[in-house]
Structure 1
């Protein structure tokens, strides 16, 4: 169903993924030819291969986040890590896409009201995905006013306007040329409208959920900290190449993605003309078949009878055959075949770095372990009220003093105050 040459097609579930009403993007289009073309044109940008200083840009956002948390720790103030993780991922993707971050970390705020808009919009998007006929109703002139508009002062509408304005600078006689994601899209022939709509991110959930499982599992946390201490990574931010050599870190990242997959929406596909047969069961053409992430990543025959447990060690102790099965199944987190997530490389680079830098600088403690967060499932997760306190560690795992003043940005200190 998810293979490169599959005859299955996207169902009308995907119509609800249009960020700009009436205009398809690489996530929403159901036309296989258009989808393949867009993927080909966007692959170099999304993968990061055509973005100059990709790793450096991610490192800069990592340091801004560390500075922000340092400021809260210095003042013994609690903070909502759910929000801070989203600030980080939004700044990363905007910096890579447009050549400059939104500024959420620098201001310690949701600059474009993106998070608030998402919280308001997701319930409607889910209903529209399950009942696509409602999208036709929303196209009526009177109800269309309820949808995001480029004239909006905040939220999705403002983001759409901003993205189009930036994209507009890359076209025409006085066009600007930059080696960022948008520059890659333009170089590969995307139109201004298509380029305006390119960009998305769901990495914040993986960061939040994995960190929650880490700080509530003392043995796992101690084991990872010991590996960081033993490995002594580069300072002030670990290099991706170093992180990939840390076996327990890799196990933690994989287990975090497994135990709490960031995307669990149906993403249903339609059975092709003539129907299909799966394990002796006939599937009539046009049948919608969805993706059950929560069940897939808790199958005892794949993960063991302790599949409900957060146990990174399973990735280090499994036999070769079981490990192959686990690795192949985990790839479904990012989709498969022609539906595979274009942003996988960037997301994984963020995950390779963020946990090392948090854990060698701070002890992070939940303010209320009985109610760690508010997590709402809309196919993607909206997570907030993730209240923690940070306590600075006197010396990082690399031997550096984590209180180095040069690392703490004055703007972050002021924002935290």
Structure 2
């Protein structure tokens, strides 16, 4: 090996090291004015560990109490004002590459993953009528039928004095509702008391991959290679990509049902107060109407408090600062162009300045005893549960209708 070759190799290695050091330093310095765990300025290790550990919402909450930088170019916020700034219809913020992890087919976007505003608007407009009921005949009647199926299934277990997993039945219910609305008939999970098309199994298998690729989007290219393609949903599968699509509209509502029911039945005062309101009301038979439910103040307080104490969606859903290169300045903090800012749900819905000193307590009465200004603040903040502005959840009204009915019929 010649000395000349060794000299060139030494120069190349030195140049690479120098470039790496400069890149890491620049990466660290761009957000040095924002606190974070020591490793966050240099790598995504903290973020990957949080997402992969199964307690992202708690890690983010703890981080928001101490710091907000969670990666070299990643922040999280528990400020509802900043969230609304990023999400409003006239925002300059864009979806970040976090959403690439929501692709159900490599290289092909859907309404959950696209970062193209024009395509997103087109997809939303095509889907909106179905979720609003304009293109789904008897939307509320379909939900009622599935509520009756849920009641029937639960009563079968009760008649045999047999224990059962209500969490699974709640997901059967929400899957049957969304399939009934989308395809004209339910999948039959409630009728068969089973995960007919293995949607729940698919979620359990694929969600860890989805979460990690949302933090490390470059992994998508690797997973779409022939070696790993078998891990992804198949186009030839009878259910295929639709498995995860269905879960996007069912798992969140099922989570809200499970969490709220848990808080109701473990709080005797809430249970008795809600039952008293139900008993005193003149309700439709066999299922309460959505309009009637909206007129029941304590029921509405229970639903709101359930969504607050256990928000169904706790992922980052990061938006990117895009403002012609100038970045953004918010409440005295400069946010450089290209910075990704994520959602700290647990932090937002446990802020003492919004929810009070007992923000960690499930207390529906907070929605009934607050003054007008406080109530307006709480209502405005709770909107973030379903997204906001241009990215508000399309299924919001359907989800609320399900919640309005299920708790009345099962408490």
TM bucket (normalised to shorter chain) is 0.7 to 0.9
**Which residue is 2:288 aligned to?**
238
SS of equivalent to 1:158: coil
Which one scores higher on RCO, CA 8 angstroms, separation ≥ 6? Answer: 1
CA distance in 2, matches of 1:146, 1:224: 46
1:9-408 correspondence runs (5 A): 9-152=94-237, 158-160=239-241, 200-201=249-250, 202-272=252-322, 273=324, 274-359=326-411
Is the CA contact 1:93–1:199 (under 8 Å) kept in the aligned structure 2?
A: no
TM-score (norm 1): 0.75
TM-score (norm 2): 0.76
CA distance in 2, matches of 1:269, 1:332: 14
Deviation at 1:159, TM superposition (A): 4.4
Residue segments in structure 2 that go unaligned for 5+ positions in a row: 1-85
Count of residues paired in the alignment: 323
Q: After the TM superposition, which parts of structure 1 deviate over 4 Å for at least 4 consecutive aligned residues? A: 196-199
Residue segments in structure 1 that go unaligned for 5+ positions in a row: 164-195, 360-417
Is the CA contact 1:263–1:333 (under 8 Å) kept in the aligned structure 2?
A: yes
CA distance in 1, matches of 2:335, 2:137: 47
CA distance in 2, matches of 1:276, 1:150: 42
Q: Cα gap change, 1:160/1:129 in structure 2, threshold over 3 Å: closer, same or farther? A: closer
Q: Cα gap change, 1:10/1:160 in structure 2, threshold over 3 Å: closer, same or farther? A: same
Deviation digits for residues 301-329 of structure 1 (CA, Å, limit 9, x no counterpart): 00111000000000000000000000000
CA distance in 1, matches of 2:180, 2:285: 22
Q: Cα gap change, 1:17/1:288 in structure 2, threshold over 3 Å: closer, same or farther? A: same
Give 1 or 2: higher helix fraction: 2
Q: Cα gap change, 1:197/1:234 in structure 2, threshold over 3 Å: closer, same or farther? A: closer
**Which of 1 and 2 has greater Rg?**
2
